[in-house]
Chains A and B, each alone.
Chain A
């Protein structure tokens, strides 16, 4: 989940300590068949399913809670789509004229307290950070109009914390799969960002949930870029898995291992820092366009085979770790562990964050040498292998757990370039600042388990696969082996579903 969490009042985390004891993991209350049904929900919607535009929201009063990057930018889009949008903030944020208050009022929106605005709202968009959900929703629920709609952009509160929502309220989720600034920028261009929508079936008393969610997606421009119809459960379980393993965890672990190895082998630290910082972005750009196959096709034939072999080895080593993450997510171990840390005022999270800031990679500025686009591949064979292993493992683990391939694709391969881009901007600091606390917490868990796991593997790694590239004049390979590798690359299920979904996307984006 990519969301900026600029201003989380610290005192909030204390507000729901009492609540935690009441909460039940919603997913765990369902029967297996219902769990599987919910996990299996994910469908790419066609443009012609959005012909009613924003009609379902027309004339309704939309009140947004929170005015950070998502809150502000979604609200700007909705208003420009002809909808009635205002913002509600805590009294303190208004009194102290905090940034969220400035964001909303400078853009000409009406701003009011919960008590002033929530009772007037037909639709309430909860765009606060996950961590605040229990406190916020508990506070606003009694204020909400009868039969109104409550919208989330992440299902953690409902699925993991078991928030019980008043039975007359409709509960939906609309989650643009991009940072808030991009949600706005794409809308202004006349396009949108891919968006996931879902209806919480336990809270759809009038059967209007889908119509409202669709209208909301149109209002933010998401329908133009592709909408996935999913479920709260599939969204949460796949989102958590993706973000803590391949997306953030693997890139963080990989960054540290690759950098340290290069420095150990005498490569200039500035070069190593640059190769890693920008390398993820360059190699995953190839991934975005043509999947794992295209990413490996950017390598010479011998290097491709080397990357393939490294990835196979990495997958064998890391598979138990991926399984553990998925298991912990499914049975609620992960979320209860994290909530316990919330109750400790994020002691672990903040400690790990400080630790990350102290890594050699983070502290070594990128050198000013030129690295050509192709060189990032040629000198970053191990990074390519790590991306391949992480994407495939996350995908395999998710689908094995009952998550449909479409969801698994979006939460692994599709989002990797977005995260890689944050590292290119400002290394791990930027990545961890951009992602949600939930993702960050999971990322550190992964990183701590994965670093020791790969210790032996890294011992035999040399600069031929990270830092210098192969110095082989002979580009020859064994034909049979090359054919085998090429076939295996293309036959992986993430490539099959990726081909279909990228086809949909490029149909929609056809021309650019």
Chain B
């Protein structure tokens, strides 16, 4: 079998459309399609079973026998059965269709049905009316029906959802064996459920198949897997080593107060009379065109700008320029920027890069404690990079480096996390990865996030305050 969709557009009920679908499935391939809720992943897979109306594009190839198990199909069957119950006009009580009848529908192989009923331990309900079953039970019945129809192409939309551990293991084993003879396409929401026999991953975003990659393409597959992992796993931000420096702050004081800021280089004023107050828990997005002084503002906060000593700056309880050291300031800040990534050209291990966040250093110059190492490993697991702790940082892809630097910034649970154009220079998938990670961080509520960006599409859920700065550089009189 082979299916080749080119520039296809499909329309579904209520006007939902899939756009620009380019997808080729060849014999022997097994796909997992994933994506956020509402991205169209179920719809995409359903088109293979003839759902949706193709209104543009070409579709080549054919499949003789397709079986689809999905929530939609399950709902349709339940609806059909429910309608049978509307027979009170006949004044007889309808019991609906019995389970064994459902299983025989569509010319299923009786031997396979028998075998699977035993495997799923469902003998006890063969004679019950289908509509009397629980949701989980109907799901299993539909799975058996689909498997027993001996399809050439098996479409499974979230087949593992709601299965108990034993049944899950049994089904996975069964599918693995089946994959030798049947092409399987699944919709999955969780990266950790992807079976080993899967050969390809597809990622749906905004109703299109945004990425598809073969497992053989190791780095591409890894990136997509990481994205799924971040998007779909139930991730928890690892704890910090001792206590966050949050405890050192007076909760009644603002985190940052910039008053009447002026920054000038030679004769050029890049910031003039700029004021900003950031309170704990207020996530901010800072926007402004190139050259408007965004980076200058950030570096005044971080203490990296030499003119921070000649401005009125209050940060983390310090009025700047009164004998505090830059390290006393930096301990409260996690920081990520493209510039940092350029600076961070060291051959150190991934684990050490994360640990360096405890010391605010580029490279690691102190021995890591066991606890710090453990935490670094937890972060690597969160990023989907477990087992790569000893790899060299400068051999990583650009996107992976960025992710790692975000983990480095967050490792100490800083009261203020500054993300200066964290998606700059990243391709789409890596941008998705970074945004997914930042959303996790915002949601965790451990840090106040200051997000700088001029890409309007890269918004982050959870950021509600916006600071816009205009380009207003002017010459000093």
Contact = CB atoms under 8 A, between A and B. Distances in A.
B368 to A, nearest CB: 7
A190 B346 CA distance: 13
Interface string B304-348: 101111100000000000011111100000000000000100111
B363 interface: yes
Contacts of A108: 306-310
B455 interface: no
Interface string A99-119: 000100011110000000000
Interface string A184-223: 0000111100000000000000000000000000000000
Given A102-B266, A108-B307, A190-B360, A511 B365 contact: yes
A337 interface: no
A82 interface: yes
A363 interface: no
A284 to B, nearest CB: 19
B367 A511 contact: yes
Contacts of B307: 106-108
A83 B362 CA distance: 23
A510 B367 contact: yes
A188 B360 CA distance: 10
Nearest to B323: A82
A190 B363 contact: yes
B124 interface: no
A230 B323 CA distance: 30
Contacts of A189: 343, 361-363
B168 interface: no
A224 B365 contact: yes
A102 B348 CA distance: 37
Given A81-B326, A107-B306, A191 B266 contact: no
Given A190-B362, A509-B365, A512-B363, A58 B309 contact: no
B218 to A, nearest CB: 28
Interface residues of B, number: 31
A60 to B, nearest CB: 11
Contact of B368 (A84, A102, A511): A511
A264 interface: no
Contact of B365 (A81, A82, A102, A508): A508
Interface string B252-284: 000000000000011000000000000000000
Contacts of B210: none
A367 interface: no
B306 A76 contact: yes
B266 A80 contact: no
Nearest to A77: B326
A102 B363 CA distance: 32
**Residue among B324, B326, B367 with max Cβ neighbours from chain A (10 Å):** B326
A359 to B, nearest CB: 34
A510 B368 CA distance: 11
A319 interface: no
Contact of A106 (B265, B325, B362, B367): B265
A59 interface: yes
Contacts of A58: 323
B326 A191 contact: no
A102 B306 CA distance: 13
B306 A511 contact: no
Contact of A511 (B326, B328, B348, B360): B348
Contacts of A81: 325-326
B359 interface: yes
A237 B359 CA distance: 38
Interface in B347-403: 347-348, 352, 356, 359-368
B303 interface: yes
Contacts of A79: 309
A285 to B, nearest CB: 14
Contacts of B356: 190
Contacts of B304: 188
Interface in B86-113: none
A512 B346 contact: yes
A339 B326 CA distance: 42
Nearest to B367: A510
Given A76-B306, A512-B348, A84 B323 contact: yes
Contacts of B303: 80
A80 B367 CA distance: 24
A509 B362 CA distance: 12
Contacts of A76: 306
Nearest to B322: A82
Contacts of A80: 303, 325-326
A493 B281 CA distance: 61
Contacts of A54: 325
Contacts of A109: 309
A188 B359 CA distance: 12
A221 to B, nearest CB: 10
B266 to A, nearest CB: 7
A58 B325 CA distance: 11
A54 B326 CA distance: 13
B325 A190 contact: no
Given A76-B306, A108-B308, A108-B309, A511 B363 contact: yes
A84 B323 CA distance: 7
A189 B303 CA distance: 13
A190 B324 contact: no
A511 B324 contact: no
Contact of A82 (B328, B348, B368): B328
Nearest to A191: B365
Interface string A80-94: 111110000000000
Interface in A134-168: none
Nearest to A58: B323
Nearest to B355: A511
A470 to B, nearest CB: 32
Contacts of A84: 323
B293 to A, nearest CB: 16
Contacts of A82: 323-325, 328
Nearest to A76: B306
A102 B328 CA distance: 28
Contacts of A106: 265-266, 306-307
A510 B365 contact: yes
Nearest to B360: A190
Nearest to B368: A511
Contacts of B367: 510-511
B100 to A, nearest CB: 67
A400 B323 CA distance: 47
Interface in A400-454: none
A508 B308 CA distance: 31
Given A59-B323, A188-B304, A511-B363, 13 more contacts: A58-B323, A80-B303, A80-B326, A82-B328, A107-B307, A190-B327, A190-B360, A191-B363, A191-B365, A510-B365, A511-B352, A511-B364, A512-B364
11 contacts: A76-B306, A82-B323, A83-B323, A84-B323, A106-B266, A106-B306, A107-B306, A188-B362, A189-B361, A190-B362, A511-B368
Q: Which 3 A-B pairs have the closest CB atoms?
A: A190-B361, A108-B310, A107-B306
